[in-house]
Structure 1
Amino acid sequence: MPFMKGLAPIRRTLNYLESGRVIFKDNVKIFSVNYNERGDHHKGAREFVFWHLCQIQYKNPDIQVITFANKTPTPFITCYFDNHEKMLIDVDSKEKNDILEHVIKVVGKSSDVLKAELMAKEKKDNPANFGYLCEKHCICEVPGQVPCPGVVPLPFSMRGKYINKRD
């Protein structure tokens, strides 16, 4: 498996990508990280890019994610919004987890919003849904469908043992 080679191959697994916690607000369009590959005060930004940037890209497919390496004396994150505003986040000498928590708090959706979106996504009022915790328990309750064979026996023409019977 060639995708399991290199530094920290766990980053390329689907479980790792889905475990990302950063889901940006709807008005964020571009997320950029500026850092250097050397220097102690850039270490948190480097580790943030290494461990969390792929999760951010996976969880936010409509947002452009950019990294600028070795172009700045101090590390920072810039978020560009759809109303042509931008926000600078200073990540100088911060740990990767502190950066992650701050990004979630500032430009990420709150847990209440995520729960509300999940509930709206799983809405059960669709008439095509049936089963446990839905409006209809069985497909036989939908008009135009064949009733359950346990309630009303199927006609002989619809039973396989009579159709496939060989004389």
Structure 2
Amino acid sequence: MPFMIGREPVRRTIKYLEAGSLVLKDAIQIFSINYNTHGIASSGIRNFIFWHLPQLMFKNPDVQIVTIKNRTPTPFVWCFYDNGKRMLVDVDSKNKDEILDHLIKVVGKSKEVLKKEAIAKEKKDNPANFGVGCEKNCACIIPGQLPCPAVVPLPFHMRGKTYLNKD
């Protein structure tokens, strides 16, 4: 598997990407990270970028994420909102977990909002849905559909064994 080559290839697996806990608010359009590639003050944000940036990008496909290297004496994060406002988050001398927790509190969606969005995404009230947990447990109950073959046998012209086996 060629995608499993390189430093810490687990970062490129779907299971790891889906495990990300930082989902940015809908109002954020640009998420900019400014840091240095050397120095102790930027070590936490470098680790954050290495471990959490792929998850952040996976969970927020509509947000432009920019990393700017070696342009600032201290690391920081800019969040640009759709109404023109922006927020500066100082990440100087923090480790990757402290940065993640702080960003979840400040610019991330709360767990309650994420649960409500997940429930709304399922849409169990759609009349076309059938199966376990829906209004109709089988497609044969829906008017205009064929009855279950276990109850009423299919006509011969609809069975594959009759029209495919013309010996």
The TM-score normalised by the length of structure 2 is: 0.90
User: What percentage of residue pairs aligned between the two structures are identical?
Assistant: 60
Q: Which residue of 2 aligns with 1:5?
A: 5
State the 1:4 CA deviation: 2.5
1:135-154 aligned at under 5 Å gives the runs: 135-154=135-154
Q: Which amino acid aligns with 1:10?
A: V
Match for residue 85 of structure 1?
Answer: 85
Matches within 5 A, 1:1-167: 1-159=1-159
How far did residue 152 of structure 1 move? 3.4
For residues 50 and 158 of structure 1, the distance between their equivalents in structure 2, rounded to whole angstroms, comes to 56
1:41 Cα offset (Å): 1.3
Q: State the distance in 1 between where 2:161 and 2:12 align.
A: 51
Q: CA deviation at 1:128?
A: 1.4
Cα 1:165–1:44 shift into 2, 3 Å: closer
Q: Alignment length, in residue pairs?
A: 167
Q: Deviations over 1:88-143 (max 9, x none)?
A: 00111111000001111111111111111110111111121111111111111011
Tell me the TM-score normalized by structure 1: 0.90
Shift in Å at residue 5 of structure 1?
Answer: 2.6
Ranges in structure 1 where 5+ consecutive residues have no aligned partner: none
Consecutive aligned runs of 4 or more in structure 1 exceeding 3 Å deviation: 149-167
User: 1:6 Cα shift?
Assistant: 2.4
Q: Which amino acid in structure 2 is aligned with residue 4 of structure 1?
A: M
Gaps of 5+ in 2: none
| Superposition RMSD in Å | 2.0
CA shift at 1:17, angstroms? 1.4
